[in-house]
Amino acid sequence: MRESVVRTAGLAGTVLYGAAIVWMYAAQPQTVAEVTGGLTSTIGAYRIDQQAFEDGLAFFRRDQFEEARAALSRADPAGRDTLTQFYIAYTCYRQGWGRVYNDDALFKNGLQAVDRAIALAPDHRLVVDDPNLGMRTADELRAELQRGLTRDASDFNPLRLIRPRR
Amino acid sequence: MSPLREAFALPCLFLTVALLGGLRLGGDVRLVPPPLVALVLALLLTGSLVRSGVFTPERLLNQRRTGIENACGTVVLLALFGASAQIFNLLTPDSGLLHVLVSVFFLVQLLTTLTAVRDRIAMLRSLAVLLGCAFFLRFIALESLYAPGRGVIKRVMTALMEGITLGALDYVPTGGATGYVAFLTLTLYLIGLVLMPTGRDNAASTAVLWQPAEPDELHGDLPALRRE
């Protein structure tokens, strides 16, 4: 009886360990926070730091984008929360946006963040009900960031100078 | 073999080897899955281990064991295979001509071992030497030769080698910390092999596996031998 309990426990532990290894090879986490966050999110136990998220949101609404990104990154160190990643992408967009040219590095970071948000969202669909935002879906934000990184003839359209930031 | 060793120690050891075998600690952290050639080499190595008696598969899987015992045995075998593949992944340079050369070296060496070595201790010694040499070649010789900020002589040597091979002999250093992880991984793998069950370490279990035929079956009509 005792032997079968030991074997069953060992088997269960081994299967869990093996699954964690397979997940790590698939997800390629870069930090310990990403490892623990990824593993806890697979069992639905991942929680962001709500206070840091609220701080980040407050900074975002005051157009303090560097501060907002720092707070939002602290709130979601594993990059596993859809909404936080969406707002991180939005800070990149608003800070990197320019009438004449955009900051490509920030737009690339924003694109990565919004891609993470879309990948994590249920059915890959994310709608954010925030009246302060010009774009309330992750798809719109992604398209805008993508457009900002693309070089084409429309870049030379003088009407670009009067377009609004969203 | 105790259930603790079979259900916990061996799978844990081999899965840790499988995890660390692909770990590369350079500028960023990478987990490299085993290439196809590593799986072939792992298969050959597992065959060599069985033929030389480093472990006896019947001790892990047979019809007299219960379902849960056979499941544990299967997990140990799968973990051993995964660990073996990752050991070759660890010791073989990731790309280029060196990857091909070292893979072919392993292939030839394992085929020779498969056909020649029949003794458990000899096999373990031979494997330790083979893996140790490969470790030295990759993590000491090549890492030192291709390390960033190397001296003029080393730069001239590597430039000459790359020139002679028309640029095919290229090597990307993995970073110093990877060597330490590789040493630990190799040690864990060899410890795991030593702990694998053999046909000799448990007389009772072996006796159950090997059931002698009845005297009449052996001698036919001849009178059976008597024991005093």
Average pLDDT, chain A: 91
Residues A40 and A26 occupy one common structural domain: no
Give one DSSP letter per residue of A96-134, joined into a string: H--SS---HHHHHHHHHHHHHHHHHSGGG--B---TT-S
Higher pLDDT, A153 or B184: B184
List the CATH number of the domain containing A59.
Answer: 1.25.40.10
Residues A7 and A70 occupy one common structural domain: no
Whether chain A has a CB inside 8 Å of the CB on B11: the answer is yes
Q: How many CB atoms lie within 10 A of CB B144?
A: 11
**A vs B: CB pairs below 8 A:** 58
- As for how many domains chain A has, the answer is 2
3-state helix, strand, coil in chain B (%, to 5): 70, 5, 30
Q: Under an 8 A CB cutoff, do A25 and B72 touch?
A: no
Higher pLDDT, B183 or B168: B183
Q: Residue B209 in 3-state DSSP?
A: helix
Residues A59 and A26 occupy one common structural domain: no
Question: What would the pLDDT profile of A90-125 be if each residue is shown by its tens digit?
Answer: 999 999 999 888 899 999 999 999 999 999 999 999
Residues A7 and A38 occupy one common structural domain: no
C-alpha–C-alpha distance, residues A158 and B9, integer Å: 70
Question: What would the pLDDT profile of B52-95 be if each residue is shown by its tens digit?
Answer: 999 999 999 998 899 999 999 999 999 999 999 999 999 999 88
Query: Of all residues in chain B, what percent carry a pLDDT higher than 70?
Result: 83
Residues A37 and A26 occupy one common structural domain: no
Give me the amino acid identity at A24.
M
Q: Above 0.90 for ipTM, yes or no? A: no
Q: What is the pTM of this model?
A: 0.74
For residue A146, is pLDDT > 80?
yes
Confidence of residue B223 (pLDDT cuts 50, 70, 90): low
Tokens of B110: 């394992």
Q: Under an 8 A CB cutoff, do B15 and A14 touch?
A: yes
Confidence of residue B167 (pLDDT cuts 50, 70, 90): low
Residues A22 and A60 occupy one common structural domain: no
Cβ atoms of residues A107 and A89 within 8 Å: no
Question: What would the pLDDT profile of A6-37 be if each residue is shown by its tens digit?
Answer: 999 999 999 999 999 999 999 888 888 888 88
Residues A74 and A114 occupy one common structural domain: yes
Question: Is B209 domain-assigned?
Answer: no
Nearest to B68 among A4, A17, A28 (CB): A4
Question: What would the pLDDT profile of B131-150 be if each residue is shown by its tens digit?
Answer: 999 999 999 888 888 777 66
Whether chain A has a CB inside 8 Å of the CB on B217: the answer is no
C-alpha–C-alpha distance, residues A52 and B190, integer Å: 47
Range of the domain at B151: 3-199
Nearest to B15 among A4, A9, A18 (CB): A18
pLDDT average, residue stretch B9-26: 94
Q: Under an 8 A CB cutoff, do B79 and A29 touch?
A: no
Nearest to B72 among A10, A25, A29 (CB): A10
pLDDT of amino acid B204: 45
Residues A12 and A68 occupy one common structural domain: no
List, in sequence order, every residue forming a beta bridge with A137; answer none if it has no partner.
A127
For residue B117, is pLDDT > 70?
yes
List the single residue in A with minimal CA-CA distance to B29. Answer: A30
Residues A95 and A149 occupy one common structural domain: yes
List of residues 6+ apart from A100 with CB closer than 8 A: A160, A161
Cβ atoms of residues A60 and A70 within 8 Å: no
Question: Is B147 domain-assigned?
Answer: yes
Question: Is B211 domain-assigned?
Answer: no
Q: Under an 8 A CB cutoff, do A6 and B18 touch?
A: no
pLDDT of amino acid B85: 97
Residues A53 and A15 occupy one common structural domain: no
pLDDT of amino acid B214: 56
Question: Is B224 domain-assigned?
Answer: no
- As for how many domains chain B has, the answer is 1
Question: Is B213 domain-assigned?
Answer: no
In eight-state DSSP terms, residue B24 is E
Range of the domain at A24: 1-30
pLDDT average, residue stretch B169-176: 75
Residues A12 and A79 occupy one common structural domain: no
Residues of B in contact with A25 (CB under 8 A): 22, 31, 33
How far apart are the CA of B159 and the nearest CA of chain A, in angstroms? 33
Q: What sign does the CA torsion over B141, B145, B149, B154 have?
A: positive
| Residue with token string 């269960």 | A12
Question: Is B94 domain-assigned?
Answer: yes
Question: Is B92 domain-assigned?
Answer: yes
Residues A74 and A24 occupy one common structural domain: no
Report the range of poorest mean pLDDT among B21-30, B156-165, B187-196: B156-165
Higher pLDDT, A45 or A125: A125
Average pLDDT, chain B: 84
Tokens of A130: 């925030």
C-alpha–C-alpha distance, residues B200 and A13, integer Å: 29
Burial of A63 (0-12, 13-18, 19+ CB in 10 A): exposed
How far apart are the CA of B213 and the nearest CA of chain A, in angstroms? 31
Tokens of A67: 């501060």
